[in-house]
């Protein structure tokens, strides 16, 4: 039954995406090229509708037994409606945020929230009154992080698929049947869409898809790892390290440049790799590789001892900083760690 549901969702995505493409063109939901975008021709948006519909078909057939199903369905529908309206009418940032908050509140009201964070040495931080605000910030933050990396053909869909594969693997290792079910259904729905979205893309997922995938990843990661006994909040952060890091350093970059946080630019990770001379496809595959690296690290992290986990986290932080400096994610002159290595390897003569 489970395998059949996955196959149905995958085939649904393959079948529905061309229909969504024609529908997007008919109603004028298209992405126009400009100086900030990489594509050079008008592209149909709304591709996320195919992912959403395929996921809902799988969910309807499987009908997993969980109190979280309806809150997730309601929240996902709200976020998809927000994305569709944005793809059609280009909503202001304020109205998109309103949609994200409503979607987040719907799942939080349904019981999806983090009440505590597990720490080393049997420690535990009870969040108390901060549980709801922190959960809200996590959902909105991850939702927008996926939206921000949706800048190249197949990038957001591929990275989301790698994250979902990691979550599915870890949930299976932990025996969490519900997370395995919803993560794998969303995974095959995303992969089915990716057949039309990988370079050269025939359709974009638009904000409909980016917001939906970001929202679902934020919720699934919360449900899947809130009870992990070691560094419970670190695991989803590591799995989502690529979009989270890109967003975090975009905030740092805009702060240093004294530009508004909502101001778009062409200095995201994929832009930086393109400027270094990598092709469109090479850039996407490199970011896939990075996502796979962090996904593997997250799996190792859950299987490690305390000291092993501390070593892995330290190495990951160094790796992220080196990538940021090598590609110029903050700026061409931002190289504190590389400069430190140079000073250590070439000490001044006395």
- Does residue 72 contact residue 219 with C-beta atoms inside 8 Å? yes
Main-chain dihedrals φ then ψ at residue 203, nearest 5 degrees: -155, 145
Known binding residues for Mg(2+) are 147, 207
Residues near 60 by beta carbon (within 8 Å), at least 6 away in sequence = none
Residue 226 in this model has a pLDDT that exceeds 90: no
Band (38; pLDDT cuts 50, 70, 90):
low
Q: pTM for the full model?
A: 0.90
| Interval 89-105: pLDDT, tens | 889 889 999 999 999 99
- Cα(72)–Cα(195) distance, integer angstroms: 26
- Tell me if residue 264 falls in helix, strand or coil: coil
- Does residue 39 contact residue 31 with C-beta atoms inside 8 Å? yes
Residues near 210 by beta carbon (within 8 Å), at least 6 away in sequence = 48, 83, 146, 147, 150, 156
- Cα(213)–Cα(328) distance, integer angstroms: 27
Residue 125 in this model has a pLDDT that exceeds 90: no
E-assigned strand segments in 30-144: 30-31, 43-44, 116-119, 123-126
Which two tokens mark 139? 């959902």
- The pLDDT value recorded for residue 113 is 85
Burial class (CB in 10 A: 0-12, 13-18, 19+), 126: exposed
Residue 232 in this model has a pLDDT that exceeds 90: no
- The pLDDT value recorded for residue 335 is 81
Give the start-to-end residue ranges of the domains of the chain.
2-345
Residue 229 in this model has a pLDDT that exceeds 60: no
Which two tokens mark 335? 């190289």
| Interval 260-291: pLDDT, tens | 766 777 788 998 999 999 999 999 999 999 99
Band (210; pLDDT cuts 50, 70, 90):
very high
**How many helices and strands in the chain, by DSSP H and E?**
14, 4
Known binding residues are 147, 207
Of 161 and 127, the structure prediction assigns the larger pLDDT to 161
The helix (H) or strand (E) run that includes residue 138 is helix 131-148
- Does residue 182 contact residue 64 with C-beta atoms inside 8 Å? yes
Residue 349 in this model has a pLDDT that exceeds 60: no
Of 51 and 124, the structure prediction assigns the larger pLDDT to 51
| Interval 293-342: pLDDT, tens | 999 999 998 887 778 888 988 999 999 999 988 888 887 778 888 787 77
- Cα(126)–Cα(118) distance, integer angstroms: 9
- Compute the average pLDDT of residues 76-88: 96
């Amino acid at each position: 039954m489970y395998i059949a549901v996955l196959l149905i969702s995958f085939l649904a995505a393959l079948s529905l995406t061309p229909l969504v493409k024609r529908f997007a063109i008919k109603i004028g939901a298209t992405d126009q090229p400009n100086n900030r975008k990489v594509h050079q021709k008008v592209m149909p948006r709304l591709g996320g509708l195919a992912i959403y519909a395929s996921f809902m078909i799988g969910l309807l057939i499987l009908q997993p037994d969980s109190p979280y199903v309806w809150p997730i369905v309601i929240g996902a529908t709200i976020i998809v409606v927000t994305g569709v309206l944005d793809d059609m009418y280009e909503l202001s940032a304020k109205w998109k945020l309103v949609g994200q908050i409503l979607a987040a509140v719907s799942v939080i009201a349904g019981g999806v929230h983090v009440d505590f964070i597990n720490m080393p040495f049997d420690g535990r931080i009870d969040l108390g009154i901060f549980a709801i605000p922190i959960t809200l910030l996590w959902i909105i933050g991850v939702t927008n992080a996926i939206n921000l990396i949706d800048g190249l053909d197949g990038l957001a869909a591929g990275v989301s698929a790698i994250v979902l594969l990691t979550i599915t693997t870890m949930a299976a290792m932990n025996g969490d049947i519900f997370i395995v079910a919803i993560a794998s259904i969303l995974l095959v729905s995303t992969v089915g869409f990716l057949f039309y979205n990988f370079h050269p893309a025939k359709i974009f997922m638009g904000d409909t898809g980016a917001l939906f995938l970001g929202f679902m990843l934020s919720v699934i990661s919360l449900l899947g790892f809130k009870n992990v006994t070691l560094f419970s909040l670190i695991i989803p952060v590591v799995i989502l390290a690529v979009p989270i890091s890109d967003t975090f350093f975009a905030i740092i970059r805009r702060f240093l440049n004294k530009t508004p946080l909502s101001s778009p630019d062409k200095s995201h990770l994929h832009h930086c790799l393109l400027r270094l001379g990598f092709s469109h496809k090479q850039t996407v595959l490199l970011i896939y590789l990075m996502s796979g690296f962090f996904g593997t690290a997250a799996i190792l992290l859950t299987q490690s001892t305390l000291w092993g986990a501390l070593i892995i986290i330290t190495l990951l932080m160094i790796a992220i900083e080196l990538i940021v400096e090598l590609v110029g994610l903050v700026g061409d002159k931002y190289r504190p760690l590389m400069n430190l290595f140079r000073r250590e390897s070439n000490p001044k003569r006395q």
